[in-house]
Structure 1
Amino acid sequence: MTSLAPAILVLAALACILLALALWLFARARSGDNRKALHENLQRNLDIQREMQVAPLAMPLPGNAPGMTASARPKESSVRQKLEDFLGYEAWGIAPRTLMLMACIGVALSVLTAFHGGLAMGALVLLVLVLLACFGIAMRLSRRRAKMLSQLPAFLDNVVRLISIGNSPHAAFQFACNNVPDPLGGALQHVSASLNISPDLGQAMAQLERTWGLPEFGLLAAVFRMSTRYGGRADLVLERVSAYIRDRQSAERELRALSTEVRLSAWILALLPIVVGTMIIVLNEGYFMRMWNDPTGSKLIFVAGGLQVCGSFLLYRLARLK
C-alpha cells in the first residue's frame, strides 16, 4: 500500500491540474466571448463608417481592390471559440463555481478509493464519476433545450403581433425579448445586447444556433437574413414557423406517449445491474474485495463494466425514437 501512495498522489495532482485548467478555460470563455463579439461588431461598424466617409474623397489605387478594409480580412478562429462551440458551455446553465465543487468532490472520492482499494480502483471510480457527470450534463442540456423549444412559439407569436402593428423585425424582436422567462429569455437577451452594436439579426441568431445546437434558431436566422436583404412579409413566415414548431412538438409528445413502455424497459435493464452491484459492495464488502484482489476476478469486473456500458448505449439507441 505504501508503494502505491506516491503514484496515487501523482494521479490526484494531475487530475486536479487538468480539472482546474478545464474549468478556467470554460470560465474564461464564458466571460470573454460576449466581450469579444461586441468588440468585433463595434470595430466592424467603425470600419464601415470610416470607409463611407473616405470613399467619396479617395479614388481606388491601381492593383488594390476597392472596398477592402481590415474587417474584410480572413480571421482565424481561436481554439477557445472552437472549444466553446463544440461543448456549448453557455447552454449548460451551470456556474463555474458549481463545476469546480463537483470536480473537487469527484477527485477526493477517487483519491480515497485509491488509498483503500488501489490505483486501478481509484481510476475506475474516477471514470464512473466522469461518465455520470457527462450523463447529468447531457440530461440537463436536453431538458433546457426542450423547455426552450416549448417557449419559442409564444415568443414568435409576440414578434408577429408587434410586426403586424407597424414595428420593424429588429424592433419587434427586441420588444418581445423583455418578458420571456429563462432559459429562452437569457439566450435572447444576449442576442438583443449584440443588436445594440450590430443590426445583423441573422448573424446573432446563427451564433445562438451554434451555442444551443437547435436547428430552429438557424431557420429563424435565415428568415431574418432574407427579410433584411430582400424585404417581404416576415410576419407571415414567422407565423408559419411557429405553427410548424407547435405541430412537431405535438407529434413528439404523441411519439413519447406511444414509446413509454420501451423507454421504461430500457431504463430498468440499464440500471438493474448497477443497483445490484452497488448493493453487493455495500452489504458484503469483503466478498467484493476478495474478488477484486484476485487477478481473474478483477478482469471479470472490468469486462462486466465494459459490457454494461455497451449494453446501456445500445438500449439508449433503441429507445431513442425521433
Structure 2
Amino acid sequence: MNVGAIILFAAALILAGLAIWLLIYADARARRDEMLLRLRAGEEAAAAVRSSREAQLRSPLLRFACHMVWRTGSEAEPSTVAKMLWVLSAMVPVTLLLFGRFGGLAVLGLVFAFGYGFLRQRAARRRAKIVEQLPAFLEAGLRVLQAGNTLEEALSTAAAESPEPLRPLFVSVGRQVRLGAPLEQVLIEMAEIHRSRDIKVIALAASINRKYGGSLRNIFRSLISAIRARDAAARELRALTAETRFSAVVLAVIPAFLTIYIYLQNRLYYAQMWESLGGRITLIVAVAMQVIGVGVIYRMMSVTEDNE
C-alpha cells in the first residue's frame, strides 16, 4: 500500500472535517446574529410568514441528511447541511483517485458507514434522554393544565422547567407557535424528525382537543403510564439481548475489515479475480450477500431501539 496515498487521504479527510466544522460554526453564529437583529428590530411578525425548515427540504437526500443532523441536537439550516453534502461529495473522486476503484469504494463505504453509525448513536442517546424526561415533562404540563391554562402555556411552562435535551426542543416549539405556526403541525414535524411516537400522540391529542374538545389531562395521565411501562420493558429487552446484539455487530464488521486487510496486503488479489467472469460474479454475489446480511441484522437490532 502506498504510504503517500494514505497520508493524502488523511489530510483530505481532516480538511473535509475542518470545512464541515467551519460551516456549522458559521451557521450557529449567523443564527445568533439574526436572532439578535430580529429582537432589536421587532421583526417577529415578519418572521412568522417564513416557511418552516421542513418546507425547504425538497430533495429526499437533503431531507434525510437534515433529519439525521437534527436528531443529534444540531439546529443547522438546510443550506448548511447541503454544503456539508457537497464537501463530502468532493471526497469521493479524491478517494477513488488515491485508492483505485475497488479500494476507493471500500474506503468510502467504511467512512460513510462509520459516519452514519456515529450520527445514529448520538441520535439514539439523545432520543433515550428525551423519552426518559418526557414523563416528568408531561407531569409538569399536567399541573399547569389543571390550573386552567391552555396547552400552549402548559408546554411552555413545562419546557422552562425541563433539563437538556428536552428543554430546547419544546422551547423551539413555543417560539414557532408564538410566531404563528399551528401547535399540531410543529409537534408533528418534531415527532417525524426525532421518530417519537409519544410526541406524535401529544400532537394528535392537541389536534382533537382543538377541533372536538375533550380532556387532555386524561390523555397525559395515560401517556405518562404508557411511557414508563414501555421504557421499563425496553430496558429489560436490551439487557436480555445484549450478547446477541454484540455477536450481530461482530458478524457484520469482520467480513468488511477482512476484505480491506486482504486488499491492503495484496492489491492484485481482487484485481485478478475481477478480470475473470467467475471471479467478478463471486465478488458481486459476496458483496450483495454482505449488504443483505447487514440489512437483516440492522432490522433485527432496531427492534430493541426505542421509538423506531
TM-score range, shorter chain: 0.5 to 0.7
Counterpart of 1:234 in structure 2 is 216
**Aligned-partner Cα distance in 2 for 1:85–1:105:** 16
Shift of 1:224: 1.9
Shift of 1:254: 1.6
Equivalent residue letter for 1:80: L
1:313 aligns with 2:290: no
Bigger-Rg structure (1/2): 1
**Aligned-partner Cα distance in 1 for 2:81–2:185:** 31
Give the aligned length.
Answer: 260
Shift of 1:152: 1.1
Of the three residues 283, 291, 309, the one matched with 2:269 is 291
Q: 1:94 to 1:228 in 2, by over 3 A?
A: closer
| TM-score, normalised by the number of residues in structure 2 | 0.67
Of the three residues 142, 149, 155, the one matched with 1:173 is 155
Equivalent residue letter for 1:317: R
Of the three residues 252, 255, 270, the one matched with 1:270 is 252
**Aligned-partner Cα distance in 1 for 2:262–2:223:** 53
Q: 1:270 to 1:175 in 2, by over 3 A?
A: same
Matches within 5 A, 1:130-209: 130-198=112-180, 200-209=182-191
**Aligned-partner Cα distance in 2 for 1:321–1:211:** 19
Unmatched tracts of structure 1, length 5 or more? 1-11, 45-76
Q: 1:291 to 1:94 in 2, by over 3 A?
A: farther
Backbone CA RMSD of aligned residues: 4.1
Shift of 1:175: 1.0
Q: 1:103 to 1:197 in 2, by over 3 A?
A: closer
Aligned sequence identity (%) = 25
Shift of 1:39: 6.7
**Aligned-partner Cα distance in 2 for 1:161–1:298:** 66
The one-character-per-residue Cα deviations of 1:133-176 (angstroms, maximum 9, x if unpaired) are: 33333333333222221221111011112222343322121111
Residues 190 and 199 of structure 2 are in contact (CA less than 8 Å); yes or no, is this contact kept in structure 1?
yes
Unmatched tracts of structure 2, length 5 or more? 1-11, 39-43
Residues 263 and 270 of structure 2 are in contact (CA less than 8 Å); yes or no, is this contact kept in structure 1?
no
| TM-score, normalised by the number of residues in structure 1 | 0.64
